[in-house]
Amino acid sequence: MTAPLFLKPVMQEKIWGGNRLETEYGYIIPSSHTGECWAISAHPNGVSQIANGPYEGMGLDALYAEHPELFGFPKERVFPLLTKILDANDWLSVQVHPDDAYAMEHEGELGKTECWYVLSAKEGAEIIYGHKAKTREELKAMIEAGQWEDLLVRVPVKAGDFFDVPSGTLHAIGKGIMILETQQSSDTTYRVYDFDRVDDKGVARDLHFKQSIDVLKIGEVQNTRPETLDLAGFKTTLLVSNRFFSVSKWEVERLVEMKQTSPYLLLSVIDGQGELMVDEHAYSLKKGDHFILPYPVTEWQFSGEMTLIASHPNEEKKG
């Protein structure tokens, strides 16, 4: 089947969510506390369904298991990536995610290295990105004493910024920010601080000091330095490439012919509109659409004026 696989996203309500997944991206949301759109997901906590073609209605998890030919006969047992759009109407918890070894031992799933492309940010918006403790002992003491203002590194953000967030990085997305997140397919979060919030039943979310102190890295966080290649009417920016995934931004302003250079690609239209041509079939694209170009799709064309985020898994290097 040489056709793209469009996906039907899954919405997740969160204490910090808002309504911009509807007002800005046109999704149907369950409430005005909708925090996450799981756009391309095979994770059991929210599986996206195929929205077109012969596999319409099938979950991405089942498709990946039953049709390895669509994904280039991959080695990974589970679909390794997860693409989300987040609407932080309020601060997310200050949190950290484990690496694969710790997550497999303690949670029975993948670890979580993630990265964020900032879609929009209100005036004065900030994130938490790293901490100031010099040793693990100091980190533990500051967490246990709740010295948040001394511990947390705050960074101002604007639309178009990108942040690499490897496992072990202390982080929080701030109020008024929308991001597109590309991450390993994992749902393990260790919360360090939740701004002393309670839900509408007066219940605070769990904190995980022990696990957090186990997995937090010491030292400054090193962000990537994305570089843009401007090909007159088509710009490509490599945002990050690590052992788990590569993520790029593509800005289309004319007809571009492209070829598959990885087994398959995950794509999200984050602005504008245009068209995708595969095998003489045209598919219209608009902001908020998410699709996979599977292994049999070896070449295609984009046209129109739109910005996409493209990602693919990287084969883990052994040894």
Residues that are catalytic:
191
Q: Render the chain in DSSP notation, one character per residue.
A: --S-EEEE-EEEEEEEEESHHHHTT----SSTTEEEEEEE---TTS--EE-SGGGTT-BHHHHHHH-GGGGTS-S-SS--EEEEEEEESSPPPEEE---HHHHHHHHSS----EEEEEEEE-TT-EEEEEE--SSHHHHHHHHHHT-HHHHEEEEE--TT-EEEE-TT--EEPPTTEEEEEEEES----EEEE-TT---TTSPPPP--HHHHHHHPPPS-------EEEE-SSEEEEEEEE-SSEEEEEEEESS-EEEE--SS-EEEEEEEEEEEEEETTEEEEEETT-EEEE-TT--EEEEEEEEEEEEEEE-PPPP-
